[in-house]
Structure 1
Amino acid sequence: MSKPTERRSLTDDAPDRVRVGVAELAVASGDTRLTTSGLGSCVGVAVADPAAGIAGLAHVMLPDATDDDRAKPAKSVELGVERLLDAVETEGGDPDAVEAKIAGGSQMFDFSGVSEGVGERNVERTREALADRGVSVVAEDVGGGHGRSLELVPETWTLRVTSAHRGVEDL
């Protein structure tokens, strides 16, 4: 699990940004921005304790666990959600106050004969994993056939979703 390091940009008032890669996660507070791009069938899972101003973002890749999940903290939905919630709690978030926002899970390719794509399964497994832990999904932008990029701001609990097809939407 990565935690933002104390970095400052060239302008003192510019917020820090932490990039969350595929199958990775990060937790931050304040005006530090957590970002991820290239969400196609992957799902961006944002969780926060809004009162504490602590939030985390995971870029989960697969609906089901694989043998090499230990190498990447958020490769599968189940372990990614578990590790993300643990990381938010470790940083001071109250597990009983945590809520979630999700985005992604697109069907990027047409696979004839396949009834349910990876994106749809990722979304469903994400909802299940959060519900199993008592975490409500308060907003989502899922499905479709387009990619997305995300920016999460912990201090305002804003998840900005950007896509070429739908523009910018704040959840």
Structure 2
Amino acid sequence: MAEIVVSKRAGDELVARGLGSCIGLALVDRSASVAGLAHIVLPESTETDRETGKFADLAVPELIERMCQAGANRRRLEAVLAGGARMFELGDLDIGARNADAVRKGLAASGIGVRAAEVGGNRGRTMRVTIADCTITVKEAGGELTTLLDGSAGGARHARTATTLEGAQR
């Protein structure tokens, strides 16, 4: 949680597990075979807590910057979101929806549209990004695997190494 990772190694697979109210934000540049994933916990940073990967207002521009540093072209970036569930009944407080809104606003401010999203509901999810073909899948707890971005058309399959955000290069 609260981490950002970017890779262009064809054998890598980026994984964000336990996406409840958190948002998994994947960015891909299929032409450059670069992908990144952020596991965002809360919508807005505070004056005293500015942990980059934790908050949407900081994580979105940071992920974009890291993608560009790795060779992605900002104009080709495609965004996919997963998570944002309402895991607990807390009255009107819906952190998942607020997280999703904050990420969408950050992307819009950067001129990046959302290509696909699986957000809301009340179950956790796992999001996977396969670098070799920039395929993005999401599996809801107790549910089916859903492909949100299929990058396999014309792309060769490579052996994959799963890289969870915990301990990945930041």
Same fold (TM over 0.5): yes
Counterpart CA distance in 1 for 2:49 and 2:82 is 22
Identity %: 36
Contact 1:23 1:59 survives alignment (8 Å): yes
Q: Report the equivalent of 1:73.
A: 52
Distance in 2 between residues matched to 1:69 and 1:156, nearest whole Å: 36
The alignment of Structure 1 onto Structure 2 pairs a total of residues equal to 147
SS of the counterpart of 1:82? helix
Match of 1:61 among 37, 41, 47: 41
> Residue 89 of structure 2: SS of its match in structure 1?
coil
Question: Which of 1 and 2 has higher RCO (CA within 8 Å, sep 6+)?
Answer: 2
Matching residue of 1:85: 64
TM-score, normalisation: structure 2: 0.82
Q: Which runs of 5+ in 1 are unaligned?
A: 1-21
* Distance apart, 1:108 and its partner CA: 0.1
RMSD: 1.2
1:30-71 Cα distance to aligned partner (Å, 9 max, x none): 23101111110000000011110001000001011123544x
Selected match of 1:97 from 57, 60, 76? 76
Match of 1:26 in 2: 5
Residue identity in the other structure for 1:55:
A
2:114 — aligned with what?
137
Quote the offset at 1:166 in angstroms: 2.6
Q: For residue 23 of structure 1, what is the amino acid of its counterpart? A: A
